[in-house]
Each structure stands twice: as structure tokens, then as C-alpha cells.
Chains A and B, each alone.
Chain A
Amino acid sequence: MNTAAARPDPFPVDGWKRAGWLLLAVYVVYAAAQMDVSWDRVVSGLHNARHFFERLFPPNFSRWDLLVKGLGESLQIAVLASALGIALSLPIGLAASRNLVPAWMSWPARLLIVAARSFHPVIVAILFVKAVGFGALAGILALALASIGFTAKLFAEAIEEISLKQVEAVRATGAPFGSVIGIGVLPQVFARFIGFATYQLDSNLRNSTMVGIVGAGGIGGTLFAAFQRFDYDFVCAILISIIALIMLGELLATGVRAIFIDGASIGDLFRRGPRAPGGRHERLLEDD
């Protein structure tokens, strides 16, 4: 009996945690009251929504030329921004990896990455529209910058996780720095880098349909104009086309990953079931 009292309570009450949850609950109620989020408001909103959805359908594809032009521009913005952003991410990510470069080099590179990440692409797009004027160029630059913030950071992290033993061996052969990177470092991170790059392309494709709203080119501008003219059936057509475009991008990204990472051939992509028996795919699962 004596010892039981001496043992600590295995489930002690943490007053601070409880206070934290309580505080959160109080704030949610307070914020809802401040924002006029009430049941009446929801009901009137739903009524309006029904009206809106009725006008969305059926979608109107009669102005398809405008649609295709906008989508084409969005696609171009996404591809160019990805190419530029990813190409710049390689050296910046490398410069930011603390295990390979000295601190005087990695700190500025990390600062650059943080700066590129700190604003939402739309805010950056507004800045670039002001700087270089309306049009696709602003969108490309904005999304390229966003790509650097994302891809370079992930790339730097991937490099920081590599096995330095492999690098040491390459260094011991008397290889110049460029070869140490190309032979000792890149093969270790290449598969992950392809992964990051395709995710970035995917994300840029989605963002490229939006920067048009602030005048930085692409389908977003057309969408915004259609909203303002209450052409809701055209809005619906645009939204459906965007979904199709995103799905297409997703498909493309999956294919690129399969080819570069799993070593699939183009033919494999159109085959169902597991690819390339005994190929690279199975081994990757083991060591990743």
C-alpha cells in the first residue's frame, strides 16, 4: 500500500494542455460571432448558391476559341515557369545544402529560398504585374519564383540526407568538385529530384490557371471576366476545362515519374498491372 502511493500517477492531468484546448474553443466561438457566421446567414447563403448552380448548367462551350487560347497560355506559363524555376532550383538547392558547401554560401542561398517562399504566388504575381506589366511574362516569373521556394528547399533537404560515404569515395579518387557532385551526389538524389520536379509542374499547372485573375496571363483572366459578366454557363465550361487540364498534367507527371524513377519504358505506361518484373521498381521499394 505504501509503495502504491509513492508511484507517480501514470496519467497526470496537464492543466496547461486543458487550458490550451479551452482557449481554442473560446476563440472559435468568438471569431464566429465576430464574422457574423450564423445559421440564418448559412440558410440565406444556400438559397443563393442554388440559384448560382442552376445558372452554371448546362456549360456553354460556344466560345471555345477563347477557352483554348486561355488554356494554351496557362499551359505555356506552367511549363516555362517550371523549366525556369527547376533549372534555377538545382544550383540554389545545392548551394543551400549545409553538408556540401561552407556556411558563407549556404546561408545566403537559404535566405533566398525563404524569401521566395514567404509570399503566396498570387501576391508575387501582383508584384510582377506591377513590375513588368500585364501578361504571361508576369505569371511565368511569379510561378518560377514560387517553384524555387519549393523545389530548391526540398532539393537542399534531399542533398543533406545523402550518404557522405559515397561522396568521400569519389573525393578520394582526386575528382574535381563538379565530378564529385555529378557522380557522388546527383545519382543519390536524382530520383527524388524528378519527383519534386513533377510535383512542381503539377502545382504550377494549377497555379497558372489562377494568376490570370490578377492580370498575369492564362485562363484565369478569362474566368474572372466571365464571372464579372455573370456568364455562369461559360464559367462552368472553363472550370470543366481546367479540371481536364489538371488531370492531363497529373497523368503526364505520373508517366514522367515512372520513366525516370522506375525505369519504365513508354510501352509500359500503357500496360496494366505491375511493370517491368525484376526491374528497378522492386529494388527501389527496398532502399527508399
Chain B
Amino acid sequence: MLSIKRLSKAYVAGKPVLIDIDLEIASRGITAIIGASGTGKSTLIRCINRLVEPTSGAIEFEGRDLVKLSRASLRQARRHIGMVFQEYNLVERLTVMENLLSGRLGYVSAWRAWRRKFPPADIARAFELLDVVGLAGFANQRADSLSGGQRQRVGIARAVMQQPSLLLADEPTSSLDPKTSVEVMQLLTDIARERGIPVVINMHDVELAKRFSDRIVGMAGGKVVFDGPPGELTDSMLKSIYGGEDWLH
């Protein structure tokens, strides 16, 4: 499904953030990437849809190497990759409905988008999704009037509007309180499982990662140091991912 091969990224030459990452993502299931701040989790996930340009390596997705794509084909590929962001990244001054429909921008011409002439089928699906994420009746509210949890629900709905074949989530709960975090993770994983979309999530919270994922990838120093089911993530593994041990127990 998604296969990352020898992926490296250095923002500054000679100081790589990612070093020869090899990772296979199956066409189903939730994969959580954990690791300390600054180990390149965000960079890895942003390299997949090339919001960050990889320095070297290959990312095969739907039979094509994303790293080699031209701008136009990259846009086409991005349509199949939904993304959920840490700070929601909604367009604050637009309504919830407009934010949801922005998930369809890859399929609608700019001229139609400017005039908000979205296909009726898209609009109907947006209303359905609003029900699914528990925001029925919020369609005409501006995004900046919502709470954090509500915003992230809109963020998830926008990504799902793309009808993606892969969902990326970059620290989707790091700006939320613990209760809302669990609710948002539940929603995200429920939607993904129901629709059979594989998900790659960056997480800080080890407990949340264990609870909601089928597979955990631990990163340290720009490399993958653990890859397995949550049950195998022992304290000694966590020690090698995060370093130190005082924070455990």
C-alpha cells in the first residue's frame, strides 16, 4: 500500500533528521508513530505527502513513487491522502461546511471553488459526515467559533471528505485535553476502520497509542528502533525510544 524506502531528510546539509527509514504500511489498520520531540516524526509524516520535500529515498504509494512526481501529479496523488493536523489547520474565517468541502478542492476547479459551486453530491456527503462526527447543525458556523475538540472533528471530517486511501494524522490530540483526546482518537479510528482506510498517526501519548493502534513504530534519533504490536512495547523498549527511565512509573 505505502512503502517507504531508504527515506532521508536533512533540513541542513550534514544534519539529517531522518536516516534511511524503511517502513511498510498495510492497506488496513492503525499505525502509531511514537518518539521523543525532535526525532523526526512530523518530518516523516510530512514527507509522505511532500509537505516537506525528502532529501533522498522513495515513497511508493498506489504504484507510484511520490518523491519523483511532478507538481501536477503530486496534486493528483495528494487527493488520495487525507491529513489531520495538530492545530487543526482549519481556515478560521470560513464556515464548517466550507472547511469540509475544502477536502474536495482537488476535484473542483478553482473557478468553481471561488464561487462555492461544489457538486451537490459533495455537499450531501458533507452533511452526512457532519452527523457522523457529531456536529450536525454546525454547518454554517464559522470555524473560529468552535472549541478545540469540535475543530479537530471538522479536521477529521475534512480529511475523510477526500475519500482518501490513506489518512495521515500529525499529533491530532496534542492540543486537546485528555478526555477530548480519547474522544477524538475514538472517532478517528472508528471512521478509518469503518471505511477501511489505513491510518498513520504521530503521537506523544504512549498510552493513547497503545490503546488505539494495531501497530506501533518507535523512533529515536531519526531511525526506527521499534516496530511491532502494542503488546510487545515493553518498558525496556520505551526506554530505548525515549531514553532515561525516571518517567516510567
Complex CA gap A168/B145 in Å reads: 21
Residues of B within 8 Å of A179, CB to CB, are 105, 108-110, 113-114
Residues of B within 8 Å of A178, CB to CB, are 109-111, 113-114
A172:B113 contact, CB within 8 angstroms: no
Q: How near does chain B come to A263, taking the closest CB pair, in angstroms?
A: 10
CB nearest neighbor in A for B86: A165
Residues 144 to 194 of chain A near chain B (Cβ within 8 Å): 163, 165-166, 168-184, 187-188, 190-191
- Given A172-B83, A173-B162, A176-B75, decide whether A183 and B102 contact each other with a Cβ distance below 8 A: yes
Q: How near does chain A come to B97, taking the closest CB pair, in angstroms?
A: 12
- Given A283-B142, A283-B144, decide whether A170 and B102 contact each other with a Cβ distance below 8 A: yes
Q: How near does chain A come to B194, taking the closest CB pair, in angstroms?
A: 21
In the complex, which of the residues B79, B90, B158 contacts A174, with contact meaning CB atoms closer than 8 Å?
Answer: B79
Residues of A within 8 Å of B110, CB to CB, are 176-179, 181-182
Q: How near does chain A come to B94, taking the closest CB pair, in angstroms?
A: 5
In the complex, which of the residues A163, A174, A181 contacts B76, with contact meaning CB atoms closer than 8 Å?
Answer: A174
B51:A187 contact, CB within 8 angstroms: no
Q: How near does chain B come to A172, taking the closest CB pair, in angstroms?
A: 4
Contact with A along B180-208 (1 / 0, CB 8 A): 00000000000000000000000000000
- For residue A40, CB closer than 8 A to chain B, the reply is no
* Most chain B CB within a 10 A radius of its CB, from A163, A165, A188: A165
Residues of A within 8 Å of B106, CB to CB, are 173-176
A187:B94 contact, CB within 8 angstroms: yes
B98:A173 contact, CB within 8 angstroms: no
In the complex, which of the residues B77, B104, B114 contacts A182, with contact meaning CB atoms closer than 8 Å?
Answer: B114
- For residue A65, CB closer than 8 A to chain B, the reply is no
Residues of A within 8 Å of B49, CB to CB, are 172
Residues of A within 8 Å of B145, CB to CB, are 283
- For residue A287, CB closer than 8 A to chain B, the reply is yes
B75:A175 contact, CB within 8 angstroms: yes
- Given A174-B77, A177-B110, decide whether A183 and B98 contact each other with a Cβ distance below 8 A: yes
Residues of A within 8 Å of B225, CB to CB, are none
Complex CA gap A226/B94 in Å reads: 53
Residues of A within 8 Å of B109, CB to CB, are 176, 178-179
CB nearest neighbor in B for A185: B91
- For residue B35, CB closer than 8 A to chain A, the reply is no
Determine the interface band of chain B, counting residues with CB < 8 A from chain A.
Answer: 35 or more
Residues 97 to 139 of chain B near chain A (Cβ within 8 Å): 98, 102-106, 108-111, 113-114
Q: How near does chain A come to B14, taking the closest CB pair, in angstroms?
A: 25
Residues of B within 8 Å of A177, CB to CB, are 110
CB nearest neighbor in A for B110: A178
Q: How near does chain A come to B123, taking the closest CB pair, in angstroms?
A: 15
Residues of A within 8 Å of B94, CB to CB, are 183, 187
A166:B162 contact, CB within 8 angstroms: no
Q: How near does chain B come to A169, taking the closest CB pair, in angstroms?
A: 4
Complex CA gap A188/B78 in Å reads: 23
Complex CA gap A163/B92 in Å reads: 10
CB nearest neighbor in A for B115: A182
Q: How near does chain A come to B224, taking the closest CB pair, in angstroms?
A: 24
Residues of B within 8 Å of A169, CB to CB, are 83, 85, 89-91, 102, 155, 158
B78:A166 contact, CB within 8 angstroms: no
B142:A166 contact, CB within 8 angstroms: no
CB nearest neighbor in B for A189: B93
Q: How near does chain A come to B115, taking the closest CB pair, in angstroms?
A: 9
A173:B113 contact, CB within 8 angstroms: no
- For residue B81, CB closer than 8 A to chain A, the reply is yes
CB nearest neighbor in B for A182: B114
A173:B93 contact, CB within 8 angstroms: no
Residues of A within 8 Å of B162, CB to CB, are 173-174
Q: How near does chain A come to B50, taking the closest CB pair, in angstroms?
A: 9
Q: A183-B102, A184-B91, A287-B92 are in contact. List 17 more A-B contacts (CB 8 A).
A: A166-B89, A166-B91, A169-B102, A170-B102, A170-B105, A171-B78, A173-B78, A173-B83, A173-B158, A174-B80, A175-B75, A175-B102, A175-B106, A176-B109, A179-B108, A183-B94, A188-B92
Please provide the 10 A-B residue pairs with the shortest distance between their CB atoms, ordered closest to farther.
A178-B110, A174-B106, A175-B105, A174-B78, A169-B89, A174-B79, A179-B113, A182-B114, A187-B93, A165-B89
Supply 19 A–B pairs (Cβ within 8 Å), ascending by A: A165-B85, A166-B92, A169-B85, A169-B102, A171-B78, A173-B82, A173-B102, A173-B104, A174-B75, A174-B79, A174-B80, A175-B75, A176-B105, A178-B110, A179-B105, A179-B114, A181-B110, A183-B102, A183-B105
